[in-house]
Amino acid sequence: MNEIKNTIGVPFCSCTDTKCPCHPTNHDKGCVPCIAKNLKNREIPVCFFKAAGGEKPTDGWHFEDFAALISSLNGQKGL
Protein backbone atom coordinates (compact mmCIF):
# COMPACT_ATOMS: atom_id res chain seq x y z
CA MET A 1 0.00 0.00 0.00
CA ASN A 2 1.29 3.45 -0.86
CA GLU A 3 2.02 5.69 2.07
CA ILE A 4 0.07 8.91 1.80
CA LYS A 5 1.79 12.03 3.10
CA ASN A 6 -0.67 14.78 3.86
CA THR A 7 0.82 18.22 3.82
CA ILE A 8 -1.81 20.04 5.86
CA GLY A 9 -2.30 18.05 9.00
CA VAL A 10 -4.49 15.02 8.31
CA PRO A 11 -1.89 12.39 9.17
CA PHE A 12 -4.59 9.88 10.08
CA CYS A 13 -6.21 9.94 6.64
CA SER A 14 -6.03 6.40 5.27
CA CYS A 15 -7.66 7.22 1.93
CA THR A 16 -5.42 6.26 -0.99
CA ASP A 17 -7.57 7.91 -3.69
CA THR A 18 -5.31 10.88 -4.25
CA LYS A 19 -7.06 11.58 -7.58
CA CYS A 20 -10.15 12.59 -5.64
CA PRO A 21 -10.33 16.40 -5.47
CA CYS A 22 -11.49 16.08 -1.86
CA HIS A 23 -8.38 14.20 -0.76
CA PRO A 24 -6.43 16.26 1.82
CA THR A 25 -3.33 16.27 -0.37
CA ASN A 26 -5.21 18.25 -3.03
CA HIS A 27 -6.19 21.32 -1.00
CA ASP A 28 -5.65 23.02 2.36
CA LYS A 29 -9.06 22.39 3.93
CA GLY A 30 -8.34 19.14 5.75
CA CYS A 31 -11.30 16.76 6.01
CA VAL A 32 -13.95 19.39 5.25
CA PRO A 33 -14.42 18.70 1.50
CA CYS A 34 -14.46 14.94 2.07
CA ILE A 35 -17.02 15.14 4.87
CA ALA A 36 -19.19 17.57 2.90
CA LYS A 37 -19.18 15.25 -0.13
CA ASN A 38 -19.97 12.24 2.01
CA LEU A 39 -22.82 13.97 3.85
CA LYS A 40 -24.32 15.16 0.57
CA ASN A 41 -24.22 11.64 -0.87
CA ARG A 42 -25.21 9.81 2.37
CA GLU A 43 -21.83 8.12 2.37
CA ILE A 44 -19.23 7.28 5.03
CA PRO A 45 -15.59 8.35 4.53
CA VAL A 46 -13.22 5.54 3.61
CA CYS A 47 -11.17 6.09 6.78
CA PHE A 48 -14.10 4.75 8.81
CA PHE A 49 -14.36 1.63 6.64
CA LYS A 50 -10.63 1.03 7.03
CA ALA A 51 -10.74 1.63 10.78
CA ALA A 52 -13.55 -0.90 11.12
CA GLY A 53 -11.40 -3.52 9.41
CA GLY A 54 -12.61 -6.65 7.74
CA GLU A 55 -13.65 -7.04 4.14
CA LYS A 56 -16.42 -4.90 2.68
CA PRO A 57 -19.37 -7.15 1.75
CA THR A 58 -20.80 -4.54 -0.66
CA ASP A 59 -19.36 -2.30 -3.37
CA GLY A 60 -20.62 1.09 -2.24
CA TRP A 61 -19.68 3.63 0.41
CA HIS A 62 -23.18 4.60 1.61
CA PHE A 63 -24.51 4.45 5.17
CA GLU A 64 -26.03 1.06 4.33
CA ASP A 65 -22.67 -0.27 3.09
CA PHE A 66 -21.02 0.69 6.36
CA ALA A 67 -23.85 -0.95 8.29
CA ALA A 68 -23.37 -4.09 6.19
CA LEU A 69 -19.65 -4.12 6.99
CA ILE A 70 -20.29 -3.75 10.72
CA SER A 71 -22.98 -6.42 10.60
CA SER A 72 -20.59 -8.79 8.85
CA LEU A 73 -17.91 -8.12 11.46
CA ASN A 74 -20.40 -8.67 14.28
CA GLY A 75 -21.43 -11.93 12.61
CA GLN A 76 -17.82 -13.05 12.69
CA LYS A 77 -17.82 -12.36 16.42
CA GLY A 78 -21.08 -14.26 16.88
CA LEU A 79 -23.04 -11.15 17.88
Q: Least distance from C-beta 62 to ligand SF4, angstroms?
A: 15
User: What's the CA gap between 26 and 32, in Å, rounded?
Assistant: 12
What's the alpha-carbon Rg for the chain, to the nearest Å?
A: 14
Determine if 45 is a binding residue for ligand SF4 (CB under 6 A).
yes
Determine if 13 is a binding residue for ligand SF4 (CB under 6 A).
yes
Contact partners, residue 11, CB within 8 Å, separation at least 6: none
Determine if 47 is a binding residue for ligand SF4 (CB under 6 A).
yes
Which residues form the interface with ligand SF4 (CB under 6 A)?
10, 12-13, 15, 24, 31, 34-35, 45-47
